[in-house]
Amino acid sequence: MLDRIRDNARAAALLAEVFDFDIARLDPVEPVRLASGDELSAIAGDASGGTFFLCGKGPVLYAGSEGSAGIVAADVAGVVRLVVGVPTWQDVVSYAGDLDAMRVAFESSYAELTEEEPELDRFRSEVVAELGLAQPAAGELLAALNVCLTELSPEYVLLNEEGGAYEPL
pLDDT in tens, 25-81: 999 989 999 999 999 999 999 999 999 999 998 899 999 999 999 999 999 999 999
pLDDT of residue 136 exceeding 90: no
Please give the average per-residue pLDDT across 139-154, as a whole number.
97
pTM metric for this prediction: 0.96
| Per-residue pLDDT at 57 | 86
pLDDT of residue 85 exceeding 90: yes
Judge whether 167 lies within some domain. Answer: no
Judge whether 166 lies within some domain. Answer: no
Judge whether 163 lies within some domain. Answer: no
Q: State the residue range of the domain holding 75.
A: 2-155
Report the mean per-residue pLDDT for the chain: 96
Number of domains in the chain: 1
pLDDT in tens, 27-41: 998 999 999 999 999
Q: What is the 3-state secondary structure (H, E, C) of the chain?
A: CHHHHHCCHHHHHHHHHCCCCECCCCCCCCCEEECCCCCEEEEEECCCCCEEEEECCCCEEEECCCCEEEEEECCHHHHHHHHHHCCCHHHCHHHCCCHHHHHHHHHHHHHHHHHHCCCHHHHHHHHHHHHCCCCCCHHHHHHHHHHHHHHHHHHCCEEECCCCECEEC
Judge whether 168 lies within some domain. Answer: no
